[in-house]
Chain A
Amino acid sequence: MTATIPTRRSTEEQASAIPSWRRVLGSEVAARVTFYVTAFLLWVALAAAFERVPGPLSVVDSLVTEFSRGEVFSNFADTFYRFTIGVALSVIVGVVVGIVMGLSGLARAFFESPVLVGLSIPAIIWAFLTVMWFGFGDASPIVTTFLTAVPFVIVNVAQGVQGVSRDLRDMSSSYGVPLGRRVRDLVLPAVSGYVLAGVRFAVIIGWNGVLLAEWFGGSGGAGFRARYWYDANQFAGFAAWVILFVVVIVVLDQLVFERMARRAFRWRDAAHS
């Protein structure tokens, strides 16, 4: 794009004018690979620039030792136990409250403020409070996961329910369709995608919550182990755990939820594109 009008060529001509090596380098796969290489180099550079940032070699080294000591699986087993209970509770409560809020404008007015307040309380506060209330143990991470995740599920589900076709809802209310049937036949099928999005939010946010609660409540788990290395000033060990946290959540989010979301929203996306 210059000041003069470019000479017009057909797209085929334009494509054939690009040399093949550039086409290979310009492909999307190459772009992704380049990104990972760049990110890795950035890490090496950061490690060289800041004394406190551990380099890749030392991190891999401590990752190997943690695996060989068996710390990884035992701690993640603890964490997943708490995480699963917390997320399951938040999904159950969140879906129920969300559906009620989405269906009735009056329920929405009632629950609006509590949900708003819940959304704005950071996980760290719940972690502190639950540690002070329940002491060290499973209760603190479970409750923190539940409380941080539940408002996000509610908001997502309520939004989905409100998005249910207005005409169908009005029709069923004027024909006096009972609430149970309305939920089963009209709301649930249309809402499944939003419920899934809510669960996904719950997983991402709850993961942060469970790690924070474990960090401050010393009773084992991935967060606790990361803190152990952090307190020992062994940043390589800490970084190894950070990589594990991130890998777990990314695998969960991208491989499991991304696919499920695509399936659940098929009816909607297909209509648009």
Chain B
Amino acid sequence: MSNPVVEASPAAPAVTWQEGEALARKASARTRRKRLALLTAGWAAMFLIWQLAAYYLPFGVLPAPLEVGEVMWDIVVSGAFAENFFASVGKTFLGFVVATAVGAPIGYLMGRYDYWKAFFHDGVTVAGTIPALTYAVLSLIIFGISDLGPILSVALVSVPFVAINVAEGVRGVDQSLVRMSQAFGRSSRQIRREVFVPTLVPYVFAAIRMSFAVAWKVEALTEVFGGKNGVGFQIRSEYQLFNIDGVLAWMCLFIIFMLIVERLVLRKLENRVLAWRPEERVGK
């Protein structure tokens, strides 16, 4: 535990409060620098392990990072990257649209009525534990090799997330606000639009952020089994050709893309959407 305040050595006691503040600022800058160095060290260690493994393992088992980097560069330059990621992102997005359209009403019912809560409870919990493989292959059986399969599997995976979060949100709606609106004779439609929906939007958003990682993986998995294009399809083709560097290159692109979307896009958007709420987010 490195706590600059607790563990700071009392060698140079601050005389005035300005000095104290300067010392504290210096200590926090030092921790920040240390953190940054270790963050870099984490990445460096990963590459080092990869490089060493590539060097010591028999030839062809694990290509070195640089070789994979070259393949990645080729993929990006040839335009295959943009084309396939665009296709996959489109399908994931459509899947989310379907999941929100189906999951939000289910969550609303679950949050408001005990009957529907009991009705959907088992389905939602079971749907959350089913292995992704099942969704991928079931979508394939239903739709065959088409773009609809990945959309369906994304929707199936995300619906429980959306439903659970929206239910949580409905239960979190300020009841005194609802009662006041009723007392002032607002119609139930107005209450729904002015009280419930604004409270629920952030929950839907949180659900999508939470399920993005899972959904994105399932989308790729479904494409592996029966896609015509997309990241998963490319990974599958490289695997069938036994191109380890091809698989690794697509994997790295997949990870980079996912980290960018998750860390930069979704988190920023969420912060903006949730900016009006001072209390911390509700999440699992």
Query: Interface of A with B (CB < 8 Å)?
Result: 1-5, 26, 28-29, 31-32, 34-36, 39, 46, 50, 52-53, 103-106, 109-114, 116-117, 119-125, 128-129, 132-133, 169-170, 173-174, 204, 207-208, 211-212, 215, 223, 226, 230, 235, 238, 242, 245-246, 249-250, 253-254
Chain A proximity of B65: nearest CB distance (Å)? 13
Which residues of B lie under 8 Å from residue A110 when comparing CB positions?
A: 38-39, 41-42, 45
- Contact in complex: A28, B115 (CB < 8 Å): yes
- Of chain A, the residue at the smallest CB distance from B255 is A120
Q: Are A35 and B258 in contact (CB under 8 A)?
A: no
The answer to whether B115 touches A103, judged by C-beta atoms less than 8 angstroms apart, is no
- The reply to whether A35 and B183 contact each other, CB–CB distance below 8 Å, is no
11 A-B interface contacts by CB (under 8 A): A3-B187, A5-B183, A31-B119, A36-B122, A113-B43, A120-B255, A133-B61, A242-B134, A245-B134, A246-B134, A250-B126
Partner of B254 from the list A1, A4, A119, A122 (CB cut-off 8 Å) is A122
Using Cβ atoms and an 8 Å threshold, which residues of chain B touch A173? Answer: 1, 3, 6-7
List 15 additional contacts besides A114-B42, A173-B7; criterion CB under 8 Å: A32-B121, A36-B122, A39-B123, A104-B1, A106-B38, A109-B34, A110-B45, A111-B42, A113-B42, A113-B43, A113-B46, A123-B217, A124-B232, A170-B6, A246-B134
**Interface residues, chain B, CB within 8 Å of chain A?**
1-3, 6-7, 31, 34-36, 38-39, 41-43, 45-46, 61-62, 114-123, 125-126, 129-134, 137-138, 141-142, 144, 182-183, 185, 187-188, 191, 213, 217, 220-221, 224, 232, 235, 239, 242, 244, 247-248, 251, 254-255, 258-259, 262
The majority secondary structure among interface residues of chain B is helix
10 cross-chain pairs, A with B, having the tightest CB-CB distances, nearest first: A28-B118, A31-B118, A208-B131, A109-B38, A122-B217, A31-B119, A113-B42, A1-B188, A110-B38, A109-B35
Across the A-B interface, how many residue pairs have beta carbons closer than 8 Å? 160
Q: Identify the interface centre among B120, B134, B258, B262: most chain A CB within 10 Å of its CB.
A: B134
User: A249 to B129, Cβ gap below 8 A?
Assistant: yes
Q: How far is the CA of A173 from the CA of B5 in the complex (A)?
A: 12
Instruction: Give the distance in Å from the alpha carbon of A129 to the alpha carbon of B63 in the complex.
Output: 12
Tell me, in angstroms, the Cα distance from A230 to B2 when the chains sit together: 55
With the chains together, A2 CA to B36 CA distance in Å? 59
Interface centre among B62, B114, B185, B255 (most CB of A within 10 A): B255
Given contacts A128-B247, A132-B242, contact A223 B133 (CB under 8 A): yes
A124 to B123, CA, bound (A): 26
Residue numbers in A under 8 Å from B254 (CB-CB)? 120-122, 125
Measured between beta carbons, the chain B residues less than 8 angstroms from A113 are 39, 42-43, 46
Q: A1-B191, A170-B6 are in contact. Are A116 and B259 (CB under 8 A)?
A: yes
Given contacts A114-B42, A123-B217, contact A211 B6 (CB under 8 A): no
* Bound Cα distance A253, B125 (Å): 10
Asked if A3 meets B185 with Cβ closer than 8 Å, knowing A35-B123, A123-B132, A242-B138, the reply is yes
In the assembled complex, which residues on chain A have CB atoms less than 8 Å from the CB atom of B132?
123, 208
Which among A5, A105, A212, A215 is the interface contact of B2 at CB below 8 angstroms?
A: A105
Query: A32 to B34, Cβ gap below 8 A?
Result: no
Residue of B nearest to A119 (CB): B213
Distance between A139 CB and nearest chain B CB, rounded to angstroms: 13
B38 proximity list for chain A (CB < 8 A): 106, 109-110
Residues of B within 8 A of A132 (CB): 61, 239, 242, 244, 247
